[in-house]
Homo-oligomer: A and B are copies of this chain.
Amino acid sequence: MPQLRVALSQIDTTVGDLDGNVRVLREQVGAAARAGAHLVVFPETAVTGYPVEDLALRSSFVDASRAALGRLAAEIADDGHGDLTVVVGYVDRVERSERTHDRARAAERGPRNGGGRDLPQNCAAVLHGGRVVGRYAKHHLPNYGVFDEYRIFAPGDELLIVRVHGVDVAVAVCEDLWQDGGPVRSVGDAAAGLLLVLNASPYERNKDDVRLELVARRAREAGCPVAYVNAVGGQDELIFDGDSLVVGADGGVLARGPQFVEHLLVVDLDLATADTAPSWEEGVRRVVVTPDAVAPYEALPAPLSHPLPDVADVHAALVLGLRDYVRKNGFRSVVLGLSGGIDSALVASLAVDALGAENVHGIALPSAYSSEHSLGDAADLADRTGLHYRVQPIGPMVEAFLANVPLHGVAEENLQARVRGTTLMGLANQEGHLTLATSNKSELAVGYSTLYGDSVGGFAPLKDVPKTLVWELSRWRNADAEARGEVPPIPENTISKPPSAELRPGQTDQDSLPDYAVLDAIIEDYVEGDRGRAQMLAAGFDAETVDSVVTLVDRAEWKRRQFAPGPKISFKAFGRDRRLPISSRWREPAAAADPGSALLVEDPEVQR
């Protein structure tokens, strides 16, 4: 059986930074060459970054992606690595397509929306000897959740099999793997010796096991090992977690990369010899790069990382998402308000982990209603983490407003939050920091925040973190520090005290909201599970609580729309993957509607 040393490069590219991405790709090919690899695989659209969204509709962008790929091929050869076979994702376009489907897609868009142009495609290219020798266009374009690929790309319908050192290597891209009866089925028919899958598969809590099971199942279907390389890094609301995998034809794990860090996973594989005279099949494009097997050599031990346990992985995802958002948007430092409460304490701790204490500026903004422990807890947090700490009382500004604009009740409560927001934004503008919003998912769900007040900020690290998970993460982070002999960053009092917005005397969150354990469970059922009122009552929730939470969630959509992006860690976050009307009067019906009452009458007298 021929041997092949395969390098899976899980890298963190930036959308639109084609020059920067090509530089990283070139360096990684060099590293793979030094490690003796024969074949290097990069993630989906690594040349352009993922997801490019509507940039794909701009022809100058597609031209630039194609040109960057050509440059990369030439530079790899210039570096003396032209003998390596490199498989990398990029954005290309359909050339002079006559396929019915593409013409229908073009027509669907209309002449003003790119319909008159060639449609872009999500592609993988095979580079060898300074040239592009093979091209595969993704077959299955996901069109759910955060994915809009069917909107922007035309699908491919051809299989690509590349012969590398006597092994027939098939190529697929991400969603192709998730489809029963997709191209992987054909890979088995085409008798490939190895299947490469290029991915940009976002992190989602508890998703890693799903992915491993899927890769193992597809390997058994294809009858050959599968090398699954995933992107890593944060891009807007998405976090790619790496966790690249190689499994054998029996579905057993052969090698696994770490999560949440860039890594070059190098693995030696014994693979089936290619049929020296394969019959040409319809829909399969075969390219021979290097026909003959390499001379036998001693295999390296296969590296096997283990995925992080729950909560630790969420924490790592949040830190990476925050670091990359700050960096990719050209900021170096962040500012946030420190209330002494748990949300701002966790955000501060995440920011210190992501950027270093020297780049984190915490501002305490006490008012007349702030309790004494609030300032003490904020100062304690600053001591523990080493972040820059300032106290900026808001009393004088609030008083100036109240002396001139007669506000009371909720309007006065909101005023305090907005004076804080204005102060933070002023400092951010003056000193060049990105402002972090500290609201959590539970608050965002029910609209328990002040628009342009505590919700200000360019990035919201806890946007997809419900309050109960805020506590879990804080406890985990402290315990982890203790286990490593370090100072736990979050003051114990911050974790244990009852949560309060402190906008009026003695206020606590539970004056307005159900207990967070109940609230978070209802939000999960309603938002993640899309369950109706009747289903939630059947699951044992109290009717009054369900009604009040569901109404709050429905009515807060307009407020959420003006909220900053934040890292997505759940299946259904508030953001791009949840598209709901604002001006909607939809209210969950008290009882399940009888869906049968509108059934079509199948009456032979009126029907032929």
Q: In the assembled complex, which residues on chain B have CB atoms less than 8 Å from the CB atom of A421?
A: 418, 452
**Who on chain B is nearest to A584 by CB?**
B16
A268 to chain B, nearest CB (A): 25
In this complex, which of A53, A399, A562, A565 has the most chain B Cβ atoms within 10 angstroms of its Cβ? A562
Q: How many residues of A contact B (CB 8 A)?
A: 141
A425 touching B414, Cβ below 8 Å: yes
Decide yes or no whether A36 CB sits under 8 A from chain B. Answer: no
Segment at the interface with B among A101-109, A311-319, A440-448, A474-482: A101-109
Give Cα distance in the complex from A307 to B132, angstroms: 54
**What CA separation (Å) do A61 and B446 show in the bound complex?**
20
Evaluate contact between A418 and B422: CB separation under 8 angstroms.
yes
For A287, what are the chain B residues with a Cβ–Cβ distance below 8 Å?
A: 606-608
Chain A 445-465 residues near chain B, CB threshold 8 A? 451-452, 456, 458
Question: A108: which of B142, B403, B561, B601 is its contact (CB, 8 Å)?
Answer: B142
- Interface residue ranges of A49-76 to B (CB < 8 Å): 49, 51-55, 57-71, 73
B residues within 8 A CB of A423?
A: 401, 405
A15 at interface, CB cutoff 8 A: yes
Contact B558 A329 (CB under 8 A): yes
Distance of A561 Cα from B608 Cα, bound (Å): 53
Contact B532 A595 (CB under 8 A): no
- B404-A131 in contact (CB<8A): no
Interface string of A306-331 (1 = CB under 8 A from B): 00000000000000000011001100
Q: Is the CB of A581 within 8 A of B143?
A: no
Provide the A392-433 mask, 1 if CB < 8 A to any CB of B, else 0: 110011011101111111110011001101110111011000
Q: Is the CB of B110 within 8 A of A52?
A: no
A598 / chain B contacts, CB cutoff of 8 Å: 65-70, 73, 90, 92, 125, 132
Q: Which residues of B contact A515 (CB under 8 A)?
A: none
Residues of B within 8 A of A286 (CB): 607-608
Cβ of A34 < 8 Å from any Cβ of B?
no
**CA of A396 to CA of B401 in the docked complex: distance in angstroms?**
8
Interfacial residues of chain A within 490-517, with CB under 8 A of chain B in the complex: none
In the complex, whether A578 has a CB less than 8 A from a CB of chain B is yes
Residue numbers in B under 8 Å from A253 (CB-CB): none
Apart from A60-B588, A411-B430: 17 A-B pairs, beta carbons within 8 A: A17-B586, A60-B533, A61-B532, A107-B180, A109-B144, A150-B150, A235-B581, A236-B582, A325-B583, A400-B400, A406-B430, A407-B430, A415-B422, A418-B426, A422-B452, A558-B565, A561-B564
Report, nearest first, the 6 A-B pairs whose CB atoms are least far apart.
A16-B586, A60-B532, A400-B400, A70-B597, A17-B585, A70-B598
11 contacts between A and B (CB under 8 A): A52-B581, A53-B579, A58-B530, A63-B592, A64-B589, A68-B598, A70-B598, A114-B530, A132-B601, A236-B582, A411-B426
Contact surface of A with B, Cβ cutoff 8 Å: 14-18, 20, 49, 51-55, 57-71, 73, 90, 92, 104, 107-110, 112-114, 125, 128, 131-135, 140, 142-145, 148, 150-151, 175, 178-180, 234-236, 280, 286-289, 324-325, 328-329, 392-393, 396-397, 399-401, 403-411, 414-415, 418-419, 421-423, 425-427, 429-430, 451-452, 456, 458, 530-535, 558, 561-565, 571, 576, 578-589, 592-601, 603, 606-608
